[in-house]
Structure 1
Amino acid sequence: MKPLLSLLLLATLLLVPSPALATSAADTVTLDGVTVRVRPGTEQVVTVNHTKGHHARVTFWSRSGQRWEKRFAAGDGRIGYGGLVRAKRRVQGSGRTPLGTFRMPWAFGMHHQKDAWDPSYRKVRTGDYWVLDNQSDHYNRYRNKQQGGFRWRLPASDPNGSERLQDYPVQYEWAVTTSFNSNQVKQRGGAIFLHVNGSGATAGCVSAPRWFLKRLMRRLDQDRKPVIAIGR
């Protein structure tokens, strides 16, 4: 092969983008400009790249061998009306979305379980709440009012009001929980999910178009230890 042709071929190969390399358990990887802290065994990632205002690009990735490959993405993702904030500085009621990488331990929604969905899925039933009562031992937990232990009668407008999940049939048609504030620090807030888009910004969650969540539900697999990484 002639030297000039060899140089042109090399330059072409260098310009062709390739999927991100997978990392070791202790490393991080950058996907779509977002830094992801990879858990041991993690093979699925959702990245949230803030673009402008309360908008973000939300992308689903999976690991294939030693590389991370983009499976699908939505340009019309949303974040909180209060913008982004470091996770440890978040305050309940601020409307801010926490930055960082969080586990996605299970999902819930308005539909009955489907065979194609991960068994961790839970259908919302009458009386199900996400507890945001700072006086409750069940703070930032899924709980039914019949179980007691929180002031479920408080209105949503109250600083200690919890979320009655059936009040959000559009947004919570499908929702994937995150591990944000899993240690239940009071006044930090909770109920930070990846859910279906509403009419505008979220109150701190990440949301994506309905088609994105519907497609994601068929792919999330707790055996692959999925995480969500939220960046600027």
Structure 2
Amino acid sequence: MRSGGTWRATVATAALGSLLAIATLTACDGARDGARDGAGAEAGKSAPKRSAAADPTRIPGVGDRWQRRIPADSRQVLAVYGEAKDSPDATAVLYTKHGTTWERVRSWPAHNGKRGWTTDHHEGDNRSPVGVFTLSDAGGVLKNPGAGLPYTRSAALAAPRWWAKSYWHDFDYVIAIDYNRVKGTPPNDPTRPEGYDKGGSIWLHMDHGSGTSACVSLSESAMEHLLRTLDPDRHPVVVMGDRADLKASR
């Protein structure tokens, strides 16, 4: 999922389109095994009530290390709880803040990197980065479903047709995770401020039924709900990682 380096302004438009497609590929490819996008994934559902013992002023299952990195002005958090460090399976939960209280709104099954999670992500390691990242830009092959975030519709986001057919719809909807990218640009902008080796183009995108190269994937209905719900005025972030690391205090 990592593409880096500087792109020359003199590259022809056609060549740039090809390079952007490659950048997208190296960001979330994994197009060699897996089922049809969304296969087996549940639609979004109402989340169960919070345990009476839980602190309503904190995101559940998130220790001090990551809790303090949630911006003070953030009022929307998508928490992605990975089942285990080396597992591609996860659960995504949307929380909204009212006053000082976090309310669990909705949850969905999800997938992350096919090799699991890491706190030191690098290009090609097939692990999703653990951390807290802002969500600033969205887009996709399909028309805007009513997104609150800036939405760029572009055919350049389409998965290459030489990928397995089950992956063709991965990027029908995407939300850029602000890891090694420039905020305020389309999700497939190739700029990598920290360089190629640190990877990039890590997105929330449509699920194909198995692990990704580093992105987080959800069902089509989940993506539509997030696109319509995430509000830049509420400063949304994603808190993501395996459950054990998310619970860590330091």
Q: Shorter-normalised TM-score: what interval? A: 0.5 to 0.7
What is the number of equivalent residue pairs in this alignment?
Answer: 171
Aligned to 2:100: 66
Q: CA deviation at 1:184?
A: 3.1
Aligned to 1:50: 82
Larger Rg: 1
Aligned to 2:124: 93
Flag the structure with higher strand content.
Answer: 1
Alpha-carbon distance change, 97 to 66 in structure 1, aligned in 2, over 3 angstroms: same
1:101 & 1:191 partners in 2: Cα distance?
16
TM value normalised by structure 2: 0.62
Alpha-carbon distance change, 188 to 66 in structure 1, aligned in 2, over 3 angstroms: same
Q: CA deviation at 1:19?
A: 6.5
Moved over 4 A (4+): 164-169
Look up the equivalent residue of 1:203 and give its one-letter code: S
Look up the equivalent residue of 2:176 and give its one-letter code: T
Q: What RMSD over aligned residues (CA atoms) do the two structures have, in Å? A: 2.1
TM value normalised by structure 1: 0.67
User: Percent same amino acid among aligned pairs?
Assistant: 22
Aligned to 1:187, which of 197, 200, 206? 197
Q: CA deviation at 1:199?
A: 3.0
Look up the equivalent residue of 1:177 and give its one-letter code: A
| Structure 1 spans left out of the alignment, 5+ residues | 1-14, 22-28, 130-163
Alpha-carbon distance change, 64 to 18 in structure 1, aligned in 2, over 3 angstroms: farther
| Structure 2 spans left out of the alignment, 5+ residues | 1-50, 162-166, 182-192, 243-250
1:98 & 1:91 partners in 2: Cα distance?
9
Correspondence 1:20 to 2:19: no
Task: Considering Cα pairs closer than 8 Å and 6+ residues apart, tell me whether 1 or 2 has the greater RCO.
Answer: 2
Look up the equivalent residue of 2:225 and give its one-letter code: R
Aligned to 2:150, which of 120, 123, 126? 120
Query: Over residues 76-114 of structure 1, what are the superposed CA-to-partner deviations in whole Å (9 max), with x where a residue is unaligned?
Result: 21110121111xx21111111000000111111122224
Correspondence 1:77 to 2:77: no
Aligned to 2:212: 202
1:99 & 1:216 partners in 2: Cα distance?
20
